[in-house]
Structure 1
Amino acid sequence: MRIAMWSGPRNLSTAMMYSFGARADCSVMDEPFYAAYLKATGLDHPMRDAVLAAQEQDPQKVPEGFAPSGTPHLYMKHMAQHMIAGFPLDWAEGCVNIHLIRHPARVIASYAEKREAPTLADIGFDKQVALYERLGGLVVDSADIRANPEGMLRALCAAIDLSFDPAMLQWPAGPKPDDGVWAPHWYGAIHKSTGFAGPEGPLPEVEGANRDVLDAALPYYEHLHALRLKV
């Protein structure tokens, strides 16, 4: 089974990659289109040069690396915003597609701590809806996973016809061999974890220009949230 997990940034996506990576029957892949996205857009992201050096930059060649790698299942963590016009998607039609969402107020507040002044294009909610409309699949909300990790993971596994493995609920602290080269900048908090964090508190206040981004992202989030998998 090839699983394509579509997410935006700051959205429990790395924890989910660690969760599936804790299974003995699953290998994982961390944002394989990142270098191609940076090359095509020219965006100045943290550790840009290291990312470009570490990954294939031609988007048409990236899916050539999506072959089985010694385990029955391959879990691919993808960022929805990376899939800009002209990037291939036909490879995903044969995958189990899952769309991971998080309330945009939380995404914006977290993203702004690492890279200021996020735009709608940076956080990818419009792209997530477009991917869902093209590929279908399941929607899961990170808030539901944090509130009930075992229940949601059992439901998710059942929905994709994959046996649940209790190993998915914990992982060792620290960096992982499959982390992208950008991990030192983005993964500080997750590297301190050994499992899913508990429920989050009240929504953060989002002000100024970030409020405009929130207002633009919210309808996309609400559309997908209404379709989410429930226990």
Structure 2
Amino acid sequence: MWSGPRNISTALMYAFAQRDDTTVVDEPLYGHYLSKTDAKEYHPSADEVMESQETDGQKVIDEVILGDYETPIAFFKNMSHHLVDLNWSFLEETTNVILTRPPRDMLPSYIKHIENPTMEDLGYAKHLEIVEYLKTVGKKPKIVDAKNILQYPQSRLRELCGSLGIPFDEAMLKWPAGPRKEDGVWAKHWYHNVHRSTGFRKYQANKDPFPEELEDLLEECQEAYEKLLEHAGD
């Protein structure tokens, strides 16, 4: 799964973790991304993240993403903007899901953690690059909108599982409150809400006044978001 930040990606990882047939892995390329970009200067606990993970992205691809697992399904929660300075050909060997979210809902949440974000931090443009790459190699990713999952969790998860060729499991709708052993060391900064949850929370549009300084970025994100949804209908 290739997500942007603040897109209920951790909740989806928790949902898949309830399946007996699935192993989940939390953002295996985060350390690689930090080691290759200036994001290490403003991401919380960047040094701790890099110390906790392999930072050689190719090794992560070979040994983790394309590694062997005891379960028939391995679910990797990834951020799309972590795909930097890497050969993308491994995507041809995986089943790819892209998770997006309306940027007006996402941006106010993100700036609580990262001030002055740029388009490169948010994943929308990278999502489009991933889709275009996969189309050139004859693969079509499943594009999922977080808003729809929050509105209709059971039907949308059933639909997602069907598109992946796996049975839907009712256990995916609920999980115990609190952290999971798979959580990355960054959970203390980002996972407060999901740790208080026991399932998908009902969707509520963000009705707070939108930060004026983010209006230009919102427009850029919205354009990419709408293009991505157009691909979902291809």
Q: Which residue number corresponds to residue 114 of structure 2? A: 115
Q: Is 2:196 aligned against 1:197?
A: no
Question: What letter corresponds to residue 75 of structure 1 in structure 2?
Answer: F
RMSD (CA atoms): 1.3
Q: Is the 2:105–2:205 Cα contact (8 Å) retained in structure 1?
A: no
Q: CA-to-partner distance for each residue in 1:153-205, whole Å, 9 max, x for gaps?
A: 01111111100000100111000010111000100111000000002135543
Q: Is 2:182 aligned against 1:184?
A: no
Q: Is 2:147 aligned against 1:151?
A: no
The CA distance in 2 between the partners of 1:122 and 1:197, in whole Å, is: 25
Q: Which residue number corresponds to residue 78 of structure 2? A: 78
- Aligned residue runs from structure 1 range 1-231, under 5 A: 5-43=1-39, 44=41, 45-63=43-61, 64-66=63-65, 67-84=67-84, 86-135=85-134, 136-228=140-232
The CA distance in 2 between the partners of 1:52 and 1:156, in whole Å, is: 32
The CA distance in 2 between the partners of 1:204 and 1:95, in whole Å, is: 39
Stretch moving more, 199-208 or 22-31: 199-208
How many residues get paired? 224
The secondary structure found in structure 2 opposite 1:74 is: strand
The CA distance in 2 between the partners of 1:208 and 1:6, in whole Å, is: 29
The CA distance in 2 between the partners of 1:133 and 1:49, in whole Å, is: 33
Q: Which runs of 5+ in 2 are unaligned?
A: 135-139
Q: CA-to-partner distance for each residue in 1:17-67, whole Å, 9 max, x for gaps?
A: 000111010001111110011011132210101101011111111112221
Q: Is the 1:7–1:78 Cα contact (8 Å) retained in structure 2?
A: yes
Q: Which runs of 5+ in 1 are unaligned?
A: none
The CA distance in 1 between the partners of 2:177 and 2:168, in whole Å, is: 22
The CA distance in 1 between the partners of 2:101 and 2:34, in whole Å, is: 24
The CA distance in 2 between the partners of 1:137 and 1:77, in whole Å, is: 15
- TM-score norm. by structure 2 comes to 0.92
The CA distance in 2 between the partners of 1:22 and 1:133, in whole Å, is: 32
Q: 1:87 Cα deviation (Å)?
A: 1.4
The secondary structure found in structure 2 opposite 1:221 is: helix
Greater per-residue helix proportion: 2
- TM-score norm. by structure 1 comes to 0.93
Q: 1:88 Cα deviation (Å)?
A: 2.6
